[in-house]
Amino acid sequence: MKTTKQKNILITGASSGIGKAACELLLAQGHKVTSIARRETDIEHINHQSLTCDLADLKRLPEFLESLVKKNPQIDTLVCNAGRGQFASLEEFSYEQIQQLMDLNFTSHAFMTRAIVPIMKRNRSGRIIFMGSEAALQGSRMGSIYCASKFAIRGLAQALRDECSKSGIQVSLINPGMVRSEFFSDLSFAHGDEETHYIEVEDVARAIQFVIDSRQGTVIDEINLSPLKHVVQSK
């Protein structure tokens, strides 16, 4: 059921997990959604457009974004959700791995926002939502590069919020704890098995919806979502 004025939403990392759940919820609310992921999403809806792009390929990303904004000048909401986890002691990372993780988890979001902000400034309104992490709030052992990428996202959000407020652009950050999703598929650890040990992708999707539905004059700076109990177990 449509509850608010229809938005034109662009969301990255939408083929699974939080991104897919957000797409489905926002489409159900009557919004138009353009999703971007490395593989095409399987969401079929009259108001959904699925685009494929490897956001970590920074050499090709500017050209992709230039075409995107030309074809979609009506975008008024951006949800930067794409990212992945990689955890090890710093010396276990190759130089290439450090760059690849930062490229996807931070720099691609900066590129994406750089492309969309001029549209919002011309329209004197817009919403930008960054997907952070509890790792953006406190550094943790074996998470040096991942935490750095999320700290960078948090700094970008804070600076952009101040920079764009006079243009009517709201900038928000959502920091989920351990989410039951494909995020842990290739990792050596995961959350616990009990429902108090994780949050669901739908929980985060509803937080995204809450920000989008907020009053134009109110900015939701950050939302922190955590499971009731913090349990980490090896696979």
Domains of the chain in start order, with CATH, are 8-234 (3.40.50.720)
Q: Are 94 and 116 in contact (CB under 8 A)?
A: no
129: β partners: 79, 172
pLDDT of 182-203, one tens digit each? 887 887 777 888 999 989 999 9
Exposure b/e, 4-13, CB count within 10 A at least 16 = b: eeebbbbbbb
pLDDT of 94-134, one tens digit each? 999 999 999 999 999 999 999 999 999 999 999 999 999 99
Residue 201's SS3 state is: helix
Q: Is the pLDDT of residue 135 over 70?
A: yes
pLDDT of 30-51, one tens digit each? 999 999 998 888 899 999 999 9
Q: Are 10 and 36 in contact (CB under 8 A)?
A: yes
Mean of the pLDDT values across residues 6-18?
94
How far is Cα 183 from Cα 189, in angstroms, rounded to an integer?
10
pTM summary value: 0.93
Q: Is the pLDDT of residue 16 over 80?
A: yes
